[in-house]
Amino acid sequence: MFTKVRTRIAPSPTGMMHLGTARTAIYCWAVARHFGGEFLLRIEDTDRERSTPEAVQVILDAMKWLNLDYDNTEVVYQMDRLGRYREVVNELLAKGLAYKCYATKEELEQMREDQKARGEKPRYDGRWRPENCVGKAIPEGVTPVIRFRNPDDGIVTWNDGVYGPISIANSELDDLVIMRGDGIPTYNFAVVIDDWDMQISHVIRGADHINNTPRQINIYRAIGAEVPTFAHLPLIHGEDGQKLSKRHGTVSVLAYEELGFLPEAIFNYLARLGWAHGDAEKFSREELAEWFKLEDCSRSAAQFSMDKLKWLNHEYIKEADNHRLADLIRHRLEKRSANVTNNEHLVEIIGLLKDRASTLEDLADECMLFYRDPVITEEMIREQLESNEGKSLAAVKRFLEEARNLEWKRENILATIKAIMKELKCKMPHIAFPIRVLVTGEKHTPSIDITLEILGKDRVISQIEKGLKGW
């Protein structure tokens, strides 16, 4: 019996972390935290072509960004465990539960062609099973692979944590290659040895692995290991109902950081995608850990919705600390050629604008109001100053006079504008619109007093003077 709940995420380093892998990791994390168990990370790096240190780093970065804290300080790498796989293979060979297969690639292709031609399902025919090759000469120059001797009869059944009971007849399965000629194990073998050695009690992964599970259960039995609970998660679909892929846009978790999403929004969104707790849409990591049950996961594919993700991100941006947002926005502003010298200003600007932004990129765009040189045409100025029967022009002129002697604080700016409104019997838009346009080039900005205060007295005065030239 497993003494503890242990889950793991076992990504292959392919250069990115897919949203689906991240969601699986979140559920593995939640199960471990729910039961006070452990959540482990293993890197399945046996694909030598794709596995580079950079690709591994991407996984570590994505885990960190999502704050998926795993419990093993030493991450497990499959390539460090080749000796262990070899040891188990040797035991299986000694027990007759595995055997060497010398069939060449060409021979196996021919076998499959023949099977197809006969209308049969292509499968390895057991030609190198010991009983089938008595007296057969071992071909020269062929490095054998090792195959697992799958039981011929019986049915493999497991009670899937999400899908419930699933059964597959052994007659459907063939003898799987478990170790290649170069001594590198295949996925289905390495995963079992690793999960066994790491004492994983719950194997939670994508539904694309359901077909692998009966094969893996047979290997567990052959090595005399306790079979864990398996739970498979339906795939994520794009908005068109097809499996989520690059075709749908961004599928890499870290790319969402660049697009301006907060990690807690992605965490929450992915957790909710395929699992529900009543009608809760926005919840914390702690709530997820408390509420999460595998049996509450949906059995049908979840559909990714950018609109919903943006809504959630907006909710998290609204409540995020302004200093933190400033740290996350600064490089985005610099990319837009802003010169951010005063952090407190930026913090204030963010406080002013964040309620309207659904991503950090939107927020950066909005913040540029305070950092760019405005583009203001003569027509824009004329449109403002000629309107309202000269009242706007008079109001702006009066404001300029007063502004020069004003202690530059929002309450003083507002009081001055109100006094001018009274004096000239005009309304707020008569004065606020032209000032906005003259100073920023925009008709709509956050409230005029705060906007002007943040822009600073010198800049406001010089912009108005420039705009009023010739009027």
How many CA atoms does the CB half-sphere of 92 hold within 13 Å?
A: 27
Q: How far apart are CA 228 and CA 217, in angstroms?
A: 9
Q: How far apart are CA 359 and CA 326, in angstroms?
A: 13
Element (DSSP H or E) covering residue 437: helix 428-440
Minimum distance of ligand GLU from residue 249's CB (angstroms): 21
The b-or-e profile of 424-440 (16+ CB within 10 A means b, else e) is: bebeeebbbbbbbbbbb
Nearer to ligand GLU, 204 or 265 (CB): 204
- Told to judge if 466 belongs to the known catalytic residues of this protein, a careful annotator would answer no
- Which residues, listed in sequence order, are joined to residue 98 by a DSSP beta bridge? 148
CB contact set of 75 (below 8 Å; sequence gap of 6+): 41, 42, 43, 60
Instruction: List the beta strands (DSSP E) in 208-299.
Output: 229-233, 236-237
User: Which residue number is nearest to ligand GLU in terms of Cβ?
Assistant: 205
> What is the number of other CB atoms lying within 10 angstroms of the CB of residue 87?
11
Ramachandran area for residue 292 (φ above 0: left; ψ -120 to 50: alpha; else beta): beta
Contact footprint for ligand GLU (CB under 6 A): 10-12, 44, 191, 205, 209
CB contact set of 307 (below 8 Å; sequence gap of 6+): none
Instruction: List the beta strands (DSSP E) in 258-311.
Output: 302-303
Minimum distance of ligand GLU from residue 205's CB (angstroms): 4
Nearer to ligand GLU, 28 or 413 (CB): 28
β-strand pairing of 145-148 with 98-101: antiparallel
User: Closest Cα partner for 166 from 243, 223, 229?
Assistant: 229
CB contact set of 414 (below 8 Å; sequence gap of 6+): 448, 449
Q: How far apart are CA 5 and CA 35, in angstroms?
A: 7
Instruction: Name the catalytic one among 246, 293, 318, 335.
Output: 246
Contact 423, 417 (CB under 8 A): no
Which one-letter DSSP state was computed for residue 358? S
Our CA angle for 408, 413, 419, nearest 5°, is 140
Q: How far apart are CA 130 and CA 96, in angstroms?
A: 9
Contact 2, 228 (CB under 8 A): yes
Q: How far apart are CA 50 and CA 48, in angstroms?
A: 6
Q: How far apart are CA 234 and CA 71, in angstroms?
A: 26
The b-or-e profile of 207-239 (16+ CB within 10 A means b, else e) is: bebbebbbbbbbbbebbebebbbbbbbbbbbbe
CB contact set of 68 (below 8 Å; sequence gap of 6+): 9, 22, 25, 26, 29, 39
Catalytic sites, residue numbers? 246
